[in-house]
């Protein structure tokens, strides 16, 4: 008797499982559908805060002068989307001499304690702005100073990787607070030489070409460092490394930047050829990739792709890899493109049917 009554109640309630409602875009979805707001919060959607922390790692050798000029010339193009969409960004520069500030370095000299401090000096004038933000009224002129560090002629070998590591982990006041808990970290290496990081190597040994040296760190050491620093890994990593380096031809030196290319490829970055006359296209590609990764929103459950509805500020956005959203199955995330990139302060809602109950 009780079993029959239970079956009757289940039958009567079954239609409720397919009851439909309407989302903010006017599309029907099942009562079992998920509705997520970004950033996550209770009630109505909360405002998006697009935080970017961008660290340029720039070779400070005399041979870099023309490349530094090209970087400065492309900066307005690189910054276009970040400024148009109101991103909350920080921009700093560390030189490839930054590794010398690491007290665990073989041959460390305390006189080099400030080598990993963010740069504000071009050898002639100071910008007096170590970290550029949207509040800076002289963004491009200050970057033009910071991106042309005074030239290092001491001849030590090149170590872009251990230089950005030291800049990001130092407790020195100038660098303090640069990396924020919820930001996307973009490391951009600008270098006409390859990386030869390894704290067991002596300072100034000039043994650049010794790829098989036992004191050379594996590239994965620095990927692991960034994974741990940002608290993420794999497809959900909230950082990437890009580079303007010798990736196609050797306009200076005798080797391609194979180790730098390896780290960029491992971290979903963009490679640009430092030997090209105009950095604009490559820097735009870097900005686009940073924007794509920093504005992706991870879903709590795997969705039925056809059921996804994305609403920004009450307006439904269509699926499009040009000016809309796409779904990344590896990261289980929604990514935005072109004109659909959310404005700072936008409200985002994603409705979908979960693939499993």
Domains (range + CATH), the chain: 19-48+297-352 (no CATH), 51-294 (3.40.50.410)
Instruction: List pLDDT tens digits, range 50-92.
Output: 899 999 999 998 889 999 999 999 999 999 999 999 999 999 9
Instruction: Pick the closest to residue 196 from 116, 242, 257, 241 (CA basis).
Output: 257
Decide if 75 contacts 333 (C-beta within 8 A): no
230/226 Cα distance (integer angstroms): 6
Q: What pLDDT sits at residue 42?
A: 39
pLDDT bracket for residue 275 (50, 70, 90): very high
Strands 239-245 and 184-190: parallel
Sequence-distant (6+) residues with CB within 8 A of 218 are none
Over residues 183-201, the mean pLDDT reads: 93
Percentage, residues of the chain above pLDDT 70: 83
Query: pTM (2 decimals)?
Result: 0.86
The pLDDT-based confidence of 31 (bands split at 50, 70, 90) is: very low
Checking if the pLDDT of 306 tops 90, the result is yes
pLDDT at 9: 39
- Identify the H or E element spanning 169: helix 160-169
Phi, psi of 172 (to 5 degrees): -65, 140
* Cβ within 8 Å of residue 173, ≥6 positions away: none
Asked whether the bond before 39 is cis by omega within 30 degrees of 0, the reply is yes
> What sections of the chain are H helices per DSSP?
2-13, 65-73, 75-84, 139-146, 160-169, 220-230, 258-266, 280-294
345 against 189, higher pLDDT: 189
Closest CA to 353 of 313, 318, 302: 302
pLDDT in tens, 239-259: 999 999 999 877 876 688 999
145 or 35, greater pLDDT: 145
143 and 16 Cβ atoms separated by less than 8 Å: no
- The whole-number pLDDT of residue 251 equals 81
Average pLDDT, stretch 217-226? Answer: 96
Tokens representing residue 252 in the block: 């200076």
| pLDDT the model gives residue 206 | 58
pLDDT at 22: 43
What pLDDT, on the 0 to 100 scale, is given for residue 17? Answer: 36
Mean pLDDT of all residues in 313-341: 93
- What average pLDDT score do residues 207-227 get? 86
């Amino acid at each position: 008797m009780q079993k029959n009554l239970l079956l009757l109640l289940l039958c009567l309630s079954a239609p409720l499982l397919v009851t439909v409602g309407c989302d903010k875009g006017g599309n029907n979805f099942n009562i079992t559908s998920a509705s997520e707001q970004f950033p996550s919060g209770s009630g109505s959607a909360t405002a998006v805060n697009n935080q970017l922390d961008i660290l340029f790692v720039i070779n400070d050798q005399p041979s870099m002068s023309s490349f530094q000029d090209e970087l400065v010339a492309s900066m307005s193009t690189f910054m276009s989307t970040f400024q148009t969409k109101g991103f909350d960004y920080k921009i700093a520069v560390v030189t490839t001499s930054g590794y010398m500030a690491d007290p665990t370095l073989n041959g460390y000299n305390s006189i080099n304690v400030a080598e990993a401090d963010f740069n504000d000096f071009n050898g002639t004038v100071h910008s007096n702005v170590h970290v550029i933000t949207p509040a800076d009224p002289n963004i491009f002129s200050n970057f033009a100073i910071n991106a042309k560090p005074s030239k290092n002629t001491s001849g030590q070998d090149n170590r872009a990787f251990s230089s950005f590591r030291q800049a990001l982990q130092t407790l020195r006041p100038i660098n303090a607070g640069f990396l924020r808990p919820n930001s996307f970290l973009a490391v951009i290496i600008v270098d006409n030489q390859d990386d030869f990081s390894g704290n067991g190597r002596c300072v100034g040994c000039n043994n650049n070409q010794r790829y098989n040296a036992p004191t050379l760190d594996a590239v994965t050491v620095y990927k692991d460092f960034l994974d741990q620093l940002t608290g993420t890994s794999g497809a959900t990593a909230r950082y990437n490394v890009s580079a303007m380096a010798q990736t196609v031809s050797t306009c200076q030196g005798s080797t391609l930047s194979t180790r730098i290319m390896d780290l960029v490829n491992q971290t979903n970055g963009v490679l640009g050829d430092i030997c090209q006359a105009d950095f604009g296209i490559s820097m735009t590609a870097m900005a686009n990739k940073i924007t794509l990764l920093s504005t992706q929103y991870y879903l709590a459950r795997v969705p039925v792709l056809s059921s996804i509805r994305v609403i920004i500020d009450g307006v439904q956005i269509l699926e499009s890899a040009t000016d809309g959203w796409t779904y990344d199955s590896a990261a289980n995330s929604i990514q935005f493109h072109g004109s659909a990139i959310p404005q700072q302060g936008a409200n985002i809602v994603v409705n979908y049917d979960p693939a499993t109950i």
